Amino acid sequence: MAAPRWSASGPWIRGNGQGFGSLFTLVSKPFCSAAAASTGINAQRLAERLRAQKREQDTKKEPVSTNAVQRRVQEIVRFTRQLQRVHPNVLAKALTRGILHQDKNLVVINKPYGLPVHGGPGVQLCITDVLPILAKMLHGHKAEPLHLCHRLDKETTGVMVLAWDKDMAHQVQELFRTRQVVKKYWAITVRVPMPSAGVVDIPIVEKEAQGQQQHHKMTLSPSYRMDDGKMVKVRRSRNAQVAVTQYQVLSSTLSSALLELQPITGIKHQLRVHLSFGLDCPILGDHKYSDWNRLAPQKLSVGTLKKLGLEQSKARYIPLHLHARQLILPALGSGKEELNLVCKLPRFFVHSLHRLHLEMPNQDQNENNEAKCLGAQ
């Protein structure tokens, strides 16, 4: 494409060049002034538009529900979104307020709901991002970053162990790998497992689920199946991993239960898979494993929805009720006593217990009293 040309009459081109200079002077000054004015106007308009959009967003905020449970659901949704938007320093400061234990070897934190441990697609902020900041807040600006000793799922709350140096982190990781750490989780389930206590010993494998949305899930890979009323041995998948979970019902109603879970192995999503596909009692708020073929909000009975004060359309906001309640670590380093780490339940978990009429063991009566106070609000 030909370059644009200036079109000017002869007098501006003839002579010693002063005519062209005069043209440039005459034309450029008004042009620059107009451009500057236009830029200022555009910037002003843009600023006004952004302020208007902000005001519109503020006015369009979700109305606050008069129902206490729905208000709590709204709080959880907002909190989860905010976790991905806060500055790492703010998150680190919040984690320091939830420290369960600290010594020369370890720092044990209370992991909040909705916060991933590691980064990944779509993850803007995770625990590993704030470990250097957290270390400096606790030990000064020259402190080395803390190290992860194990992991918890994004939706799981509770006890999480960090180490001050790599050697100690490897030592704790080895304790987890060799199953020397006692891990106890609490979960609220939809329906009640039968029998009320037992062991689920079924291998787990990852498979692609066929449906409207193709996705991968962990699922059971049993060694036997029923065929015309007969028990038939199944050829084991090469990718299947041994998975063993001990469980006990702490409290139950006709439609829900509070369980204590002790995973003997540490397979990905083991507790969720064993409860949902092994015992037919999915965890409340488990929207991934409540149905094998679909990725959809958990379907709850009318009775459960009524107790929670929710409609089915709002069920997708129910958080996963799985809490890393307790870890018991063997003596570390020069220590002579085991380390017993207990983390109190998150507020939404306690509130759900109260709404579902589930009772906690006697030693946790203080939290149960807190639930009653919340329910009265």
Q: Looking at residue 307, which CATH number applies to its domain?
A: 3.30.2350.10
Quick one: pLDDT at residue 182? 97
Give the best-scoring range by mean pLDDT among 156-165, 216-225, 226-235: 156-165
Kindly report which listed range (22-36, 182-196, 213-227, 273-287) carries the lowest average pLDDT score: 22-36
Specify whether 150 is located in the same domain as 205: no
Quick one: pLDDT at residue 308? 93
Quick one: pLDDT at residue 237? 83
Listed in order, strand segments (DSSP E) in the chain are 99-102, 106-111, 147-148, 157-163, 182-190, 197-201, 204-209, 215-220, 224-227, 230-233, 244-252, 256-263, 322-329, 339-342
Specify whether 188 is located in the same domain as 285: yes
Angle (CA) 217-222-223 rounded to 5° is 145
Q: Dihedrals φ, ψ of 210, to 5°?
A: -90, 135
Quick one: pLDDT at residue 196? 96
Quick one: pLDDT at residue 212? 66
pLDDT at 214 over 90: no
Reported confidence tier of residue 23, pLDDT bands at 50, 70, 90 = very low
Tally of structural domains, the chain: 2
- Do 234 and 225 form a contact (C-beta atoms < 8 A)? yes
Average pLDDT value over all residues in the chain? 82
Residue 119 domain flag: yes
Residues facing 220 on adjacent strands? 204
Kindly report which listed range (183-192, 294-303, 341-350) carries the lowest average pLDDT score: 294-303
Residue 36 domain flag: no
Specify whether 166 is located in the same domain as 200: no
Quick one: pLDDT at residue 208? 84
Dihedral class, residue 303 (left if φ above 0, else alpha if ψ from -120 to 50, else beta) = alpha
153 is known as an active-site residue: yes
Reported confidence tier of residue 123, pLDDT bands at 50, 70, 90 = confident
Q: Are strands 244-252 and 157-163 parallel, antiparallel or unpaired?
A: unpaired
Reported confidence tier of residue 49, pLDDT bands at 50, 70, 90 = confident
Query: What domain range is 275 assigned to?
Result: 180-362
245 SS3 class: strand
Residue 33 domain flag: no
In which residue are the tokens 């697609």 written?
121
Quick one: pLDDT at residue 57? 60
56 versus 127: which is more confidently predicted?
A: 127
Q: What is the mean pLDDT of residues 230-237?
A: 84
What's the rounded Cα separation, in Å, for the pair 128 and 148?
A: 8
Indicate which residue of 103, 129, 153, 165 is catalytic. 153
Residues facing 326 on adjacent strands? 184, 342
Kindly report which listed range (162-166, 172-176, 206-210, 242-246) carries the lowest average pLDDT score: 206-210
What's the rounded Cα separation, in Å, for the pair 96 and 107?
A: 10
Specify whether 235 is located in the same domain as 101: no
Residues facing 342 on adjacent strands? 326
